[in-house]
Structure 1
Amino acid sequence: MTHVCVVSLSFQLQQGIGRPSVYHAVVVIFLEFFSWGLLTTPMLTVLHETFPQHTFLMNGLIQGVKGLLSFMSAPLIGALSDVWGRRSFLLVTVFFTCAPIPLMRLSPWWYFAMISMSGAFSVTFSVIFAYVADVTDERERSTAYGLVSATFAASLVTSPAIGAYLSAWYGDNLVVLVATLIALADICFILLAVPESLPDKMRLSSWGTPISWEQADPFASLRKVGQDSTVLLICITVFLSYLPEAGQYSSFFLYLRQVINFSSTTLAVFIGVVGILSIVAQTLFLTLLMRTLGTKNTVLLGLGFQILQLAWYGFGSEPWMMWAAGAVAAMSSITFPAVSALVSQSADPDKQGVVQGMITGIRGLCNGLGPALYGFIFFLFNVEFNSMDPIQGDYNIDPLPLDTLIPGPPFLLGACTVVIAFLVALFIPEKTSCSSSSSQLSLNDNPPAACDADFEPLLHDSIV
């Protein structure tokens, strides 16, 4: 018996340090995104050197493939983590997400190929939020989610500036080396310090249970959208507003660097300032607006800010215009937290996981379509670097005469889609009755027993 206890104790020690907690998740998220944030400046340089003629198009295709693969794989990885535990899938997702980093200076082609393919495992947030749900109760969960989201924001606020400084003084090779070491530290932290959060009894009872296609089908939640009119309006609003944001996030830093001629230092400062303003908007201003204007009006206000900043980016051609629009973009980041609150008002407590799954599925789909759409529009309008010259090559395409009036055509198109989203959001009822919601949101025969475990906040995507 003593021998058995010693073996059991040693096994537990190998599974991590201490009891599973939110702080384990926070460290994993911070290290992963800090390492990628360091590479903001070197990645833009390598991207332009590798694809000098069609940079925006290739960037859109690379990010688009990655986003679509993440959308397709997220439900399966989530279902498997329910059976095999969170810790092993944290290790898998972090390893494959960070695997392309050392290839940046070794082989740029392999680097971008790995970025595209790593999308199949780049779903760390899904596993992290499941980990947090395992270790918190309902009263603590929203605070814990907020802590994880704030950590993500903090990593992206600080790391681009640090990466730009190291690149300017010591070169890109050192930045890539530091990012690789931080990624390795993250993997080692998961191996040595992160304990398993899913109780053994739950895993053993699920072990060997077949994974149904319904659990692994990424389109399962999308097919249920039309079963409730309120949820349908919210989902249309999310799709039309998040599609341009996903495309903007994939190409905007490249646009600032190569078209507006931001220096590496200025770009890093821009990211930091807008990130800090976004955090302030999502905390102080969001709380104030929700109390004074109500949830629906806060969503409409956020969409209005998004229309303004996208139109400003579309027509702006001077650096000061980008800074002004960046402040507006920070205010527009209140939209998705407000949408999440609106969803919680429109659905019964036992249907929250189902509806939030729909929103998450639509957002994942936009992460694939948005970057590809923006890259294609940049290519279609012949937007190239510095002098806005038309694309050179074997294409007999006359440049469209919009280079002076509309320097950023994708942003203007994005503003138009958000205008439609605004009009749709006008018809969203502020609140729905519980009976109606309960009758219409019974979207499957066996709704999730623990809906809060499925809830994924929308804060972490709306930093810039």
Structure 2
Amino acid sequence: MRKDDQHSSLQQGIGRPSVYHAVVVIFLEFFAWGLLTTPMLTVLHETFPQHTFLMNGLIQGVKGLLSFMSAPLIGALSDVWGRRSFLLVTVFFTCAPIPLMRLSPWWYFAMISMSGAFSVTFSVIFAYVADVTDERERSTAYGLVSATFAASLVTSPAIGAYLSAWYGDNLVVLVATLIALADICFILLAVPESLPDKMRLNTWGAPISWEQADPFTSLRKVGQDSTVLLICITVFLSYLPEAGQYSSFFLYLRQVINFSSTTIAVFIGVVGILSIVAQTLFLTLLMRTLGNKNTVLLGLGFQILQLAWYGFGSEPWMMWAAGAVAAMSSITFPAVSALVSQSADPDKQGVVQGMITGIRGLCNGLGPALYGFVFFLFNVELNTMDPIQGDYNIDPLPLHSPTERALIPGPPFLLGACTVVIAFLVALFIPEKPTCSSSSSQLSLSDNDEDTPPTASDEDFEPLLQDSIV
């Protein structure tokens, strides 16, 4: 799964760069955070007893907006200086808040917000994978990375809930910190550089256009290619509700559906296992039989169904059924990543993935804030929360009566379903093959004057997207 131009000897790391290096990095990072699922619910409610959903949305919103601002810059720098150093930076800052959970909750949530400036590991990881895979293998590799993210959440929340119940939150935080340190050590000692030497520079200079690192400039340049513009709009409209759902769903299960902490951990594990199956077996099969575009459309269809089910559902069995549908909807993002990467130059993979990750970062800012505000408008709050730790009982039953059922128990989820419907309609217009206009349009990474004569040579600009069958 390696390109022919990567046979140059690399001094750092173990072996040649491969997808498996990226898989280990992602697994350890999100396994550490998965352990903190149960303790985080308690700390969040204890720190912000009033308007918990709203404050959670604001914290995650600031983090997401900072990720949006920094993702294009980090992606562009990794195209020039290599992936390995930026993997180290992104993982370090993503995991930096973990030890502060028990030391100082206020500093913990402040660090979560500020760490968003570097919490763009997926941007560098997808560029790393693009470096070490051929185009025909890339969609499968992206599916493997996304499935690894799901796999890291299969057992870690349950393990965290068990350790928290029997040994306290301090041990959970300690274990999560040690796993995060192991991830950093793995990058330092085992991960080789994936970007070939001939494509990598070690000094500051002209190869980096700081204009391209501006997230808003990157978004404007997206519009120069109609196909990429449609893909980016689809990503924004589909990931906006997903980001909001991810930030508040566990709180929603405890307050509205009255899931206990252990039930939530089991729920995450089951959905994670189904997501692994969806992103490996089903994704590969669908990409080969239906193609990239139809796979994206199918994933969006599943997302519409699961969000509507979460919005109207009020019984636990409905949450479990919708969770199975949500697992199938997880095929959307790896399919979109493969769709974009197939058209990108080898030395521009970081910029391309940085732009997509930047849009997702913008959603990570707007989505949680939107969900928190809608929950606030509909007076959905954490009035009480069961103690997670106990001397003998791992899974205490809810002591409070269920929240009064409403016609629409989860209004933000229903709103999210509406935005995904629009994303589905936009995705229908993504061309199967490049049109004449899109074939002639190229997304420049450098500043080009609009009055440049048409006789300019190809060396005057660097196309971000090559012409390819979409």
When normalised by structure 2's length, the TM-score is 0.80
Give the Cα separation in 1 of the matches to 2:257 and 2:368: 19
339-348 vs 423-432, which moves further: 339-348
- The share of aligned pairs that are identical, in percent, is 96
Say if 1:295 and 1:120 are closer, same or farther in 2 by CA, change over 3 A.
closer
Which of residues 14, 24, 32 is equivalent to 2:11?
A: 14
How far apart are the structure 1 equivalents of 2:319 and 2:394?
29
- Cα deviation 1:151-190 (Å, max 9, x = unaligned): 2221122211211121222221111111011112222233
2:446 maps to which of 436, 444, 447: 444
The DSSP-based 3-state class of the residue aligned with 1:173 is helix
| Greater alpha carbon shift after TM alignment, 411-420 vs 209-218 | 209-218
Structure 2 distance, partners of 1:196, 1:239, is 31
Q: Note closer, same or farther for the CA distance 1:445–1:376 as it changes in structure 2 (3 Å cut).
A: same
CA change 1:363–1:318 in 2 (3 A) is same
Q: Distance in 2 between matches of 1:462 and 1:417?
A: 29
Shift of 1:401: 25
1:293 Cα deviation from its structure 2 partner:
5.0
Compute the displacement of 1:386 (Å): 6.1
Quickly say closer, same or farther: Cα 1:203–1:39, change in 2 above 3 A: same
Taking the aligned partners of 2:145 and 2:277, their CA distance within structure 1 comes to 16
Q: 1:407 to 1:395 in 2, by over 3 A?
A: farther
Confirm or deny: 8 A CA contact 2:444 2:463 kept in the other structure.
no
Partner Cα separation in structure 1 for residue 463 and residue 254 of structure 2: 30
Post-superposition CA distance 1:252-279 (Å, at most 9, x none) = 1121123221111111111111111122
Cα separation, partners in 2 of 1:419 and 1:339, compared to 1, 3 Å:
same
Q: Which residue does 1:5 correspond to in 2?
A: none
The Cα of 1:141 is off from its aligned counterpart by: 4.7
Deviation at 1:106, TM superposition (A): 1.1
Conserved? CA contact 1:145–1:457, under 8 Å = no
Look up the match of 2:409.
407
Change (3 A) 1:461 1:118: farther
Q: What are the ranges of 5 or more consecutive residues in structure 1 without an aligned counterpart?
A: 1-11
Task: Please say which of residues 335-344 and 30-39 is displaced more in the overlay.
Answer: 335-344
Verify: 1:162 aligned to 2:162, yes or no: no
Match of 1:276 in 2: 273
Cα 1:317–1:95 change in 2 (3 A) is same
User: CA 1:248/1:232 → structure 2, altered by over 3 Å: closer, same or farther?
Assistant: same
Which residue in the other structure is 2:460 paired with?
454
Residue number in structure 1 paired with 2:252? 255
- The answer (yes or no) to whether the contact 1:75–1:215 under 8 Å persists in 2 is yes
For 1:206 and 1:275, the matched residues in 2 are separated by: 42
Asked if structure 1 preserves the Cα contact closer than 8 Å seen for 2:70 and 2:358, the reply is no
Structure 1 range deviating more: 263-272 or 253-262: 253-262
Structure 1 residues 455 and 385, CA, compared in 2 at 3 Å: closer, same or farther?
farther
Q: Matches of 2:122 and 2:351 in 1, distance apart?
A: 18
Q: 1:132 is matched with which residue?
A: 129
Q: Deviations over 1:6-49 (max 9, x none)?
A: xxxxxx99944444444333322221111111111111111011
**Structure 2 Cα separation of the partners of residues 461 and 54 of structure 1:** 49
Q: Is the 8 A contact 2:239 2:360 kept in 1?
A: yes
The match for 1:179 among 167, 176, 186 is 176
1:155–1:388 distance in 2 versus 1, CA, 3 Å:
closer
- How many residue pairs align between the two structures? 452
Contact 2:144–2:280, Cα closer than 8 Å, also in 1: no
User: Which whole-Å CA distance do the structure 2 matches of 1:352 and 1:134 have between them?
Assistant: 8
Equivalent pair of 1:40/1:163 in contact (CA under 8 Å): yes
Deviates most, 226-235 or 238-247 = 226-235
CA RMSD between the two structures = 7.3
| Structure 1 pair 56–185 and aligned structure 2 pair: CA distance change class (3 A) | same
> Deviation digits for residues 387-416 of structure 1, max 9, x if unmatched?
8999999999999999x1111111111111
Report which stretch shifted further, 284-293 or 230-239. Answer: 284-293
SS at match of 2:444: coil
**Cα displacement (A) at 1:221:** 2.5
Q: Which has more helix, going by share of residues?
A: 1
Q: For residues 334 and 187 of structure 1, do their structure 2 counterparts lie closer, same or farther at Cα, with a shift above 3 Å needed?
A: closer
Shift of 1:461: 26
Query: In the alignment, is the contact (CA less than 8 A) between 2:144 and 2:279 conserved in 1?
Result: no
- Give the superposition deviation at 1:328: 1.5
Deviations, residues 221-251 of structure 1 (Å, cap 9, x unaligned): 2102333444333332222221111111111
Shift of 1:289: 4.2
